[in-house]
Amino acid sequence: MSDHDKIDEIKKAKEAWQQQVEKVIEKRPERKDFKLDSGEPVERVYDPLDMEKLDYIEDLNWPGEYPFTRGIQPTMYRGRLWTMRQYAGFGSAEETNQRFRYLLDQGQTGLSVAFDLPTQIGYDSDHPLARGEVGKVGVAIDTLADMEILMDNIPLDQVTTSMTINAPAAVLLAMYMAVAEKQGMPMDKIGGTIQNDILKEYVARGTYIFPPRESMRIIVDIFSFAVENIPTWNTISISGYHIREAGSTAVQEVAFTLSNAIAYVEAALEAGLEVDQFAPRLSFFFNAHSNFFEEIAKFRAARRIWAKLMKERFGAKNERSMMLRFHTQTAGSTLTAQQPDVNIMRVAYQALSAVLGGTQSLHTNSRDEALALPSEHSVLLALRTQQVIGYEIGAADTVDPLGGSYFIENLTDHIEGEVMRYIERIDEIGGAVEAIEKGFIQKEIQASAYEYQKEIEAQERVVVGVNKFQTSGEQPMDLLKMDPATSQRQVERIKEVRLSRDQGKVSDALQGLRKAAQSDENVMPHILEAVKAYATLGEICGVLREVFGEYQQQITI
């Protein structure tokens, strides 16, 4: 029997089956209209008719083979599990260093630094705008002295470190390099990631400093500096995570992230870099949200789209330039303050979707994060969740176990199509920078966020413990308490550093930085010099603020 005959046979059988279904529905109607988070209807069942157009080699291929739909390595987790990397940081460098060492002792395999808001926005801890914020959502780092304490007794050649830092990414990278140098590490032995993704800050995360075009210039400076000086470092982590947290759909998350990625690639090409020089060091960061299958398909689709974009649009020749490597974090916005232990289950399913989607590293949120920063016990449970997925349940034993599923392949195609439609629209607007300046991306995200909230309030979207299955009388939890003296100690430390350093060296380095910023000389070597002279983060960013100006937020509501 030919394929064509087989398809005809299936079609006929399906018609007969559908008649049966009609009868069943007459007696017992279905519970509701089913749809994806992106709004698309979900069919009753998927079958070979949905896969008629699928070409195995062209669309899927084997793991480690273009377009990498099934994964970027041939053996995936059979060779090595994903990196278990919990985002952590609070209070002072001492406290965070302790939490890092605790996590490493518990089997965590990489570090991920959360910085406080003044650090992320380039203010020293004693700046008036830092009032109340020092050490709150992350660790306060003002000078190299703090970074030395943060990484104390952590061998930087054995762990990789991811730093969630954007506008001042160059400064924190320079501090990390300076610490590694003091530990005697050659620069090709240290590995890690700086987030360095400013475009999503304007639309979703808010820790911008400079205007978009000036920020893009700093980012390209970092790319080209890294090619020469720190070749194994991931110079950017292009992030959909926060776009999703801000309320986008799964499709928008991938579309806006990849549009941003296109903007970075174009900026680097314009500055004269070759695509295969820097593209292998681009990395990505996605959200693992609650719609299990949609999320798995999202990761697969993102990989396929990126591979095609790099090969077809940018003419990459090196396969490493086409591989979308990504970190995943479970969706913070799905955590509930009500019945917080239920969050453990939410996180576990979200984490499983990331693993089935082929993530390279993973952060699992803690159950108490809708209430406070996580306690040590809650973080341990979150890490153990990953270890159960990796070691107990067999989910990591074969590559892309859901590949070939009628539903998953259909969803993967669907998401790819929708994402490409958005990317084309953004291209028409003139690219991501233009689309952000016009407020297009912000408005799209906002509309989805508002829709989502309305669905919850109309009970079309069930949130267990919030709009259904509520209980009264919540059990109190042991939450992390911040030490109120941290902020004062941090202010004292920065004052001491300012008094004990060689002031002449600091001024010279800052002057050099100013000149570089005003010309087209790479700013990175000057930042490194300033950092080594113990210039503060606020001083360095202050010089750049004077030269580049500050971004004024667009109010799009």
Q: Which residues bind another protein (CB under 8 A)?
A: 117-118, 120-121, 129-133, 136-137, 201, 204-207, 245-247, 333, 335-338, 370-373, 446, 449-450, 453, 456-457, 463, 466, 479, 482, 553, 555, 557
Smallest gap from Cβ 135 to another protein, in A, equals: 9
* CA 191 to mean position of chain CA atoms: 17
Residue with smaller CB distance to another protein, 154 or 479: 479
Nearest distance in Å: CB 262, another protein:
23
Nearest Cα to Cα of residue 321 among 313, 333, 330, 331: 313
Helix (H) or strand (E) holding 244: helix 241-245
Tally of residues, the chain = 557
Comparing CA positions, the residue from 234, 246, 248 lying closest to residue 279 is 234
Position 292, amino acid = F
Q: What is the spatial distance between Cα 169 and Cα 466, in angstroms, rounded to a whole number?
A: 38
Closest separation in Å from C-beta 555 to another protein: 5
The DSSP code for 376 is H
Of the two residues 142 and 245, which places its CB atom closer to another protein in the complex?
245
Start-to-end CA span in the chain (Å): 60
Backbone angles phi, psi at 443, to 5 degrees: -65, -40
Dist CA 244 CA 256 (whole Å)? 10
Closer to another protein by CB, 208 or 299: give it: 208
Residue 527 near residue 171 (C-beta atoms within 8 A)? yes
CB closer to another protein, 120 vs 237: 120
Cβ-in-10-Å burial (0-12, 13-18, 19+) of 235 comes to: buried
| 191/206 with CB nearer another protein | 206
Closest CA to 221 of 552, 548, 550: 548
CB of 360 to another protein, least distance (A): 26
- The least distance separating another protein from the CB of residue 420, rounded to whole angstroms, comes to 26
In the bound complex, what is the minimum distance in angstroms from residue 452's beta carbon to another protein?
8
Amino acid at 164: T
Phi/psi at 439 (5° precision):
80, 10
**41 or 476: whose CB is closer to another protein?**
476
Minimum CB separation of residue 242 from another protein in Å reads 8
Q: How far is the CB of 295 from another protein (least distance, A)?
A: 19
Minimum CB–partner distance for residue 489 and another protein (Å) = 16
**Is 511 or 554 the residue whose CB approaches another protein more closely?**
554
Question: In this complex, which beta carbon is closest to another protein, that of residue 337 or of residue 395?
Answer: 337
Q: What are phi and psi of 532, to 5 degrees?
A: -65, -25
Instruction: Please say which residue, 89 or 512, places its beta carbon nearer to another protein.
Output: 89
**Using the 8-state DSSP alphabet, how is residue 476 labeled?**
P
CA-based nearest residue to 239, from 296, 276, 194: 194
Tokens of 314: 């940018």
